[in-house]
Amino acid sequence: MYQNPPVLILGIETSCDETGVALYDAAAGILLGHVVHSQVAMHEAYGGVVPELASRDHIRRLVPLARGLFERAGRAPGDLGAVAYTEGPGLAGALLVGAAFAHALAAALGVPAIGIHHLEGHLLSPLLSARPPEFPFVALLVSGGHTQLMRVDGVGRYELLGETQDDAAGEAFDKTATLLGLGYPGGPALSQLAERGQAGRHNLPRPMIASGDLEFSFSGLKTAVLTLVRRAEATEQFRADVARAFQDAIVEVLVAKCMLAMERTNLTRLVVAGGVGANKQLRAALNARTASAGTEVYYPELELCTDNGAMIALAAALRMQAGLAAGGGHAFTVRPRWDLAAPR
């Protein structure tokens, strides 16, 4: 166990279609730099992520990205005290690339390699912002693959409060964007289109908003959009109005569940993390509701909402400070499916 983290940690993120590397000075609590290469252009022709192509691109990108980062930060690999990497969840092949790189480098340097849960990285990423939250807090993890509400009492102390029963919010954004004829990735394109839409033109359901629990369901909302699209001529304004109605429904459900979670836990701080956490309308709605309730909401910096190595390096540093990062050899595995709340 490591009660005092090493001075410099390299963070590596390769869970899906972004290759992220970062350098974090754990002693000073400073992010020295990070860089992310997105594979969006490569996968666009296929309408989604192709796992084999993603893995091969991570192989091509990791070494030059890391080398460039060290040069810009004025540091060298020999300065490292640990290498952190995403152990899961994610695409198995993509995870293996990052894990193999991390363990090989760590073994060569004689330093530990620390496997990090991808969602833990997102959950703790607001601690890198200029206005970091204090524990405990409620966290909304909202991305293309996950929509979960967690109670967070400290590093490694997570309780699942509720999650989606089918599509994640980000997945629903992408699928609805496809129905509206938007490109890949669809979520950001749909949000931009929604800005030109008129509110109230279409009435879409708010799934499970009155269920009395903290669970989510978004597949029915996507089906309702499909019904609308089939019934009408898809003019540009119609598409914008549908996009606005869809986003209004998603945001209303997410905000309602977040406020209920805070009420149920008697906590006054909310953290929002994951790619959908960058959505302007969601942020505006949460800002308004928490302000009226006398509570607080925190977000990571916009550049840290998507997958990145900075959140992995930070999570490793915090786990080491808490004595939760075990040392050991360099035999490794990855966890494509991994429950954050499960014991490690």
Work out the pLDDT band at 299, boundaries 50, 70, 90.
very high
Note whether 51 and 105 are same-domain residues: yes
Q: Is residue 43 part of a domain?
A: yes
Work out the pLDDT band at 2, boundaries 50, 70, 90.
low
Task: Quote the pTM value.
Answer: 0.94
Q: Is 231 exposed, middle or buried (0-12, 13-18, 19+ CB in 10 A)?
A: exposed
Note whether 139 and 255 are same-domain residues: yes
Note whether 197 and 287 are same-domain residues: yes
Work out the pLDDT band at 5, boundaries 50, 70, 90.
low
Note whether 149 and 281 are same-domain residues: yes
Q: Is residue 339 part of a domain?
A: no
Note whether 186 and 281 are same-domain residues: yes
Note whether 267 and 312 are same-domain residues: no
The confidence score (pLDDT) of residue 184 equals: 81
The confidence score (pLDDT) of residue 341 equals: 77
Note whether 89 and 142 are same-domain residues: no
* Average pLDDT of the segment spanning 29-52: 94
pLDDT in tens, 174-210: 999 999 999 888 889 999 999 999 999 999 999 999 9
Domain containing residue 20: CATH number: 3.30.420.40
Domain count, the chain: 2
Taking all residues of the chain, what is their mean pLDDT, rounded to a whole number?
94
Q: Is residue 74 part of a domain?
A: yes
Q: Is residue 218 part of a domain?
A: yes
d(CA 204, CA 221): 7
pLDDT in tens, 52-78: 999 999 999 999 999 999 999 999 999
Q: What angle do CA 51, 57, 59 make, to 5 degrees?
A: 110
Note whether 252 and 175 are same-domain residues: yes
* Average pLDDT of the segment spanning 221-243: 91
Q: What one-character DSSP code corresponds to residue 339?
A: -
Q: Is residue 101 part of a domain?
A: yes
Contact yes or no for 62/101 (Cβ under 8 A): yes
Note whether 245 and 102 are same-domain residues: no
Note whether 275 and 241 are same-domain residues: yes
pLDDT in tens, 126-157: 999 999 999 999 999 998 788 999 999 999 99
Note whether 188 and 317 are same-domain residues: no
Alpha helices in the chain (DSSP H): 40-44, 51-73, 92-109, 118-124, 169-179, 186-194, 219-231, 236-265, 280-293, 309-321
- Token reading at 104: 């090989």
Work out the pLDDT band at 236, boundaries 50, 70, 90.
very high
Contact yes or no for 16/174 (Cβ under 8 A): no
Cis before 89 (ω within 30): yes
- Cβ within 8 Å of residue 45, ≥6 positions away: none
Could you write out the DSSP letters of every residue in 64-82? HHHHHHHHHHT--GGG-SE
Note whether 153 and 294 are same-domain residues: yes
- Cβ within 8 Å of residue 303, ≥6 positions away: none
- Range of the structural domain that residue 119 is part of: 8-124+305-321
